[in-house]
Amino acid sequence: MIEFLNLSKAYSASGTQAVRGLTLSIAPGEFLVLIGPSGSGKTTTLNMVNRLVEPDSGEIRIEGKNVLDSDPVMLRRSIGYVFQEAGLFPHMTVAENVAATPVLLGWDRPRIAARVTQLLDMVQLAGFESRFPQELSGGQRQRVALARALAARPPVLLLDEPFGALDPVTREAVAADVRAIHQRLGLTTLMVTHDMTEALLMADRIAVMADGQLVQVGSPRELVEHPADAFVAQLIETPRRRARALAETLRA
């Protein structure tokens, strides 16, 4: 259970009001997708969950507890985060990247080794343990980042455009994997994307942001049937228009 209560954040450096009065709650075990145009405040929102960014006002609660009351370092170790562009450590092997958080938590070696093997199996990268990130494809890197985020068995998973750099086929495969893993581990997942098709296919509920504000939140069906305004309607229309165009091309 993650709750955002009237959350606001302005960056003094750029004078941007990145997030304005965001109120939203994510149920335990829910897969919520945050969508919106570039610069609408999605990454900022995500970063405030594990305190990489501190809010100006409002609150975030996880399991009812204000995140500002937790030690930020311990908080981050208990939340999985897959960064935009993966963010793997280039001087560490795949196994060392995956083991990052367990090592920080002081797990013993055999337990870490077993966990790494288990996770690399899960993301279908068994045998890649001693490779370096530069020696992987974009899709493989993204899967390592996912494994790293899940290593310490966090109940909460944050994903920031995790499939941005992938080709459509890989993208679909990894997306399906992520959704399956979410289901299997019973995670509470908050994912950011630009892609409405992806959002519609993966999400339990979709939250639409524009200019730092929440425009609408609801299940894919609700969004498709009752878009709150022209902006949401237009977002929804894009995948539909594409599907129609494709069907016509195929018929001709």
Ligand X SMILES: Nc1ncnc2c1ncn2[C@@H]1O[C@H](COP(=O)(O)OP(=O)(O)OP(=O)(O)O)[C@@H](O)[C@H]1O
Question: What is the binding site for ligand X (CB under 6 A)?
Answer: 11, 13-14, 16, 18, 36, 38-44
Residue 241 tokens, joined: 């228009």
Find which of another protein, Mg ion, ligand X, none residue 40 binds, CB within 5 to 8 Å per kind: ligand X
Contact yes or no for 251/80 (Cβ under 8 A): no
In terms of CB distance, is 83 or 128 closer to Mg ion? 83
Residue 229 tokens, joined: 């305004």
What does each C-alpha distance from 183 to 176, 189, 206 come to in angstroms?
Answer: 11, 10, 17
CB of 230 to another protein, least distance (A): 35
Strand partners, 209: 214
CB of 60 to another protein, least distance (A): 16
**b/e 28-41 (16+ beta carbons within 10 angstroms → b):** eebbbbbbbeeebb
Contact yes or no for 22/8 (Cβ under 8 A): yes
Find which of another protein, Mg ion, ligand X, none residue 140 binds, CB within 5 to 8 Å per kind: none
In terms of CB distance, is 16 or 70 closer to Mg ion? 16
Residue listed under structure tokens 């208990």: 78
In terms of CB distance, is 14 or 249 closer to ligand X? 14
In terms of CB distance, is 143 or 205 closer to another protein? 143
Residue 226 tokens, joined: 């009752």
Find which of ligand X, Mg ion, another protein, none residue 76 binds, CB within 5 to 8 Å per kind: another protein
CB of 76 to ligand X, least distance (A): 18
In terms of CB distance, is 43 or 189 closer to Mg ion? 43
CB of 87 to another protein, least distance (A): 3
Distance CA 40, CA 213 (A): 8
Contact yes or no for 18/187 (Cβ under 8 A): no
CB of 75 to another protein, least distance (A): 8
Contact yes or no for 59/115 (Cβ under 8 A): no
Find which of Mg ion, ligand X, another protein, none residue 181 binds, CB within 5 to 8 Å per kind: none
Residues contributing to the site for another protein (CB under 8 A)? 50, 52, 73-74, 76-77, 81, 83-85, 87-91, 100-101, 104-105, 148
Residue 10 tokens, joined: 């302005």
Distance CA 136, CA 235 (A): 34
Find which of another protein, Mg ion, ligand X, none residue 13 binds, CB within 5 to 8 Å per kind: ligand X
Find which of another protein, Mg ion, ligand X, none residue 8 binds, CB within 5 to 8 Å per kind: none
Q: How far is CA 10 from the centre of its chain?
A: 22
CB of 109 to another protein, least distance (A): 17
